Amino acid sequence: MTTSRRPESPELPLTRRRLMHLSGAAAGAALSGTWLASSRALAAARSQDAPTGELLVGAPEDGYRSDERANIGMYPLNTNIYESLVRLTPDYQIEPLLAESWEFVEPNTWRFSLRDDVTFHDGTPFTAEAVKWTMDRIAGTGGGVLGVDENSTVIVDDYTVEITPSRPNRRLVQQLNHPNNSIIAPGSDPATERIGTGPFREVEYVQGDRYVVEANGDYWGEPPLLAGITFRFYPDPITRVLALQSGEVDLIYEVPRESAQEITGDLSLATSNVGAYEALYVNIHGAEPYDLGQDPALREALAYAIDKDAIVSGVWQGNAEVIQTMIPPAILGGAGADIVGTTYDPEKARQLLDAAGWVPGADGIREKDGRRLHLVMIVGFPTAAAHVPMPEFVQAQLLDVGVELEIVQTPDTATYEARLATGEGDLWAELGSQNDGNPCFLPDLLFYSPDPEGDPESAMYGNAFAPGETFDAHIDECRSAVETEAVQEAAAAAMKVLIDEEFVVIPIAGIYRIFGLNQSVQGFEAHPSGVNQSWAGVSVTE
């Protein structure tokens, strides 16, 4: 168990319901007598006018990292204990947060004016020193999509800081909202202690079981309405639904799209606009036996063999929509119309395979030069359960055109990424999310040609999927463009390479964020970027 607690902070109210929840009515976890006595004493100290009510949330599996890239409390579950310099609105616009304003200084510098009325949860004032500490930490792990290095961040004065990426990057402000770029207290490390500036502060984190936060009574902004939130981790989506139906929790993340109709009676759904996507990536740089994706004709045939409409309407009960991009279409403006995509055409898929020399064998599976057309699909990001039952439907559709598909479900993200790093797979099923205001965020992050001398972890997607110079040139344009329309056009051109020309990406659907909640939950608004979900305006009624 890893904990971070301010001794003087009042504890969450220890209601009978909370005691049952934390003591493991569902999970079998035990509370010590010491912790229980402490909780009662601290609860008694809470002032009468403090935020009230406790929210119990069922979250997916614990996907936090605790290594040099530790992001506990930030991503993928954003517990609102940290804040970034800017905020992402539900319509993918950028607003001030810890930074009050910013300006671009030619040729490649951003100057930020910071709020001067903010303190961290341990009482440390928020100043430019915290921004530098955070950016230097990011630089130390490769610089991420921000492209920062050890020389990028310069303190001008206590409340002014300049960030100069190591490469041209005019999208920096649009990227800074991502929770992984949250500002941490100078000298702190999220692997061991979580000290942020957000509306909630950490009470307890038990890896794989729960994350407990309480209202930050010294918050600089509008105070949260809730006294506290307990997030419980339920990797299995059906278990999350059962927890909501039984009253074990008040709200759950990621209601299975195929099961949304089961949320009835006193329960309801909160659905966002499209903010995520389901897609398949084809390994185009693999070594045998994972080298079949190098054939452009095979990749194109796969795209035409998949019936996206059937998956959306039949499998997911209409709780998604067919799109031809890998990001929310709205963020591309009119430029998104240039991406055509593919429609279901199994006969065209068969013709493409025939022309490429893949002929049906005795059992219907195609063969070429004595080799069976056998592909392996890796399913595991963000979880294997998040994709169910899409892989089996794709498997059946590919079998119809003579392609044998083996499905491998990885038990966790670490295993999925380890397999990706070694290129052991042909197709990779991902449920990705547009988590910042930059239209090129995902294409840049996943498909730009990697630096051979760069960080191996940052290179693993590019090593498998990067389509090369033409795509990279569009991303370079996106990084350096000034006008919004030029950025959108460059992003659309890059995705056209991925989807229409090289068939490296096969979009399946645009995904709504679907939350289930009971009638006690008030003020909840589903953010299309689930990792940017805000909890400060939520309340509960008894």
pLDDT digit string (tens) for 502-514? Answer: 999 999 999 899 9
**What does the pLDDT read at residue 19?**
39
8 belongs to a structural domain: no
pLDDT digit string (tens) for 471-488? Answer: 999 999 999 998 989 999
Residue 22 has pLDDT above 80, yes or no: no
372 belongs to a structural domain: yes
What is the chain's Cα-based Rg?
Answer: 24
Residue 38 has pLDDT above 50, yes or no: no
Residue 41 has pLDDT above 50, yes or no: no
Per-residue pLDDT band for 375 (boundaries 50, 70, 90) equals: very high
10 belongs to a structural domain: no
Sign of CA dihedral 425, 430, 436, 439: positive
The reply to whether 101 and 128 lie within a common domain is: yes
**What does the pLDDT read at residue 215?**
98
Backbone angles phi, psi at 57, to 5 degrees: -120, 135
Per-residue pLDDT band for 3 (boundaries 50, 70, 90) equals: very low
336 belongs to a structural domain: yes
- What is the rounded distance in angstroms from the CA atom of residue 57 to the CA atom of residue 502? 42
The reply to whether 174 and 70 lie within a common domain is: no
Tokens representing 156 are 């001008």
Length of the chain (residues): 542
The reply to whether 395 and 487 lie within a common domain is: yes
Per-residue pLDDT band for 306 (boundaries 50, 70, 90) equals: very high
3-state SS record for 252-268: ECCCCHHHHHHCCCCEE
Strands, E, within 142-241: which ranges? 153-157, 160-163, 200-206, 210-215, 228-233
**What does the pLDDT read at residue 501?**
98
- What is the rounded distance in angstroms from the CA atom of residue 485 to the CA atom of residue 489? 6
Backbone angles phi, psi at 476, to 5 degrees: -60, -40
Within 10 Å of residue 395's Cβ, how many Cβ atoms? 18
**What does the pLDDT read at residue 43?**
40
Chosen domain end from 115, 146, 181:
181
Residue-number span of the structural domain to which 339 is assigned: 274-512
pLDDT digit string (tens) for 277-288? Answer: 999 999 999 999
The reply to whether 218 and 253 lie within a common domain is: yes
pLDDT top residue among 116 and 388: 116
2 belongs to a structural domain: no
Would you say 447 and 467 are in contact if contact means Cβ atoms under 8 Å apart? yes
Q: Describe the crossing of helices 413-421 and 456-465 by its angle, rounded to 10 degrees.
A: 70
**What does the pLDDT read at residue 316?**
84
The reply to whether 227 and 358 lie within a common domain is: no
**What does the pLDDT read at residue 27?**
37
**What does the pLDDT read at residue 424?**
97
1 belongs to a structural domain: no
| 69, 71, 72, 75 alpha-carbon torsion, rounded to 10° | -140
The reply to whether 104 and 200 lie within a common domain is: no
The reply to whether 340 and 401 lie within a common domain is: yes
The reply to whether 212 and 278 lie within a common domain is: no
The reply to whether 58 and 118 lie within a common domain is: no
Per-residue pLDDT band for 457 (boundaries 50, 70, 90) equals: confident
Cα 192 off chain centre by: 22
**What does the pLDDT read at residue 49?**
60
Q: Describe the crossing of helices 390-399 and 296-305 by its angle, rounded to 10 degrees.
A: 110
The reply to whether 319 and 456 lie within a common domain is: yes
Residues of the chain with pLDDT > 70, as a percent, come to 91
Name residues whose C-beta falls within 8 Å of residue 256's C-beta, 6 or more positions apart in sequence.
237, 238, 241, 388
**What does the pLDDT read at residue 385?**
86
Whichever domain contains 222, its CATH number is: 3.40.190.10
6 belongs to a structural domain: no
Per-residue pLDDT band for 240 (boundaries 50, 70, 90) equals: very high
The reply to whether 332 and 220 lie within a common domain is: no
pLDDT digit string (tens) for 179-225? Answer: 999 999 999 999 999 999 999 999 999 999 999 999 999 999 999 99
3-state SS record for 374-385: EEEEEEEECCCH
Residue 30 has pLDDT above 90, yes or no: no
Chosen domain end from 161, 181, 201:
181
Average pLDDT of the residues in 309-319 = 88
Whichever domain contains 491, its CATH number is: 3.10.105.10
**What does the pLDDT read at residue 14?**
41
Alpha-helical regions (H) of 45-146: 128-139
Chosen domain end from 144, 163, 181:
181
pLDDT top residue among 407 and 35: 407
* Strand 267-282 versus strand 427-433 pairing type: antiparallel
Residue 528 has pLDDT above 90, yes or no: yes
Residue 33 has pLDDT above 70, yes or no: no
**What does the pLDDT read at residue 11?**
42
Name residues whose C-beta falls within 8 Å of residue 473's C-beta, 6 or more positions apart in sequence.
none
Whichever domain contains 92, its CATH number is: 3.90.76.10
3 belongs to a structural domain: no
The reply to whether 279 and 262 lie within a common domain is: no
CA distances from 290 to 104, 169, 345, 483 (A): 45, 35, 25, 41
Of 62, 24, 515, which is closest to residue 244 (Cα–Cα)? 515
Average confidence score pLDDT of the chain: 90
* Strand 427-433 versus strand 228-233 pairing type: unpaired
What's the count of helices (H) and strands (E) in the chain, helices before strands?
14, 22
Would you say 431 and 256 are in contact if contact means Cβ atoms under 8 Å apart? no
Q: In what order do the strands lie in the sheet with 366-368?
A: 359-360, 366-368, 371-372
What is the number of domains present in the chain?
Answer: 3
Residue 373 has pLDDT above 50, yes or no: yes
- What is the rounded distance in angstroms from the CA atom of residue 209 to the CA atom of residue 252? 15
Q: Which helix (H) or strand (E) holds 518?
A: strand 505-518
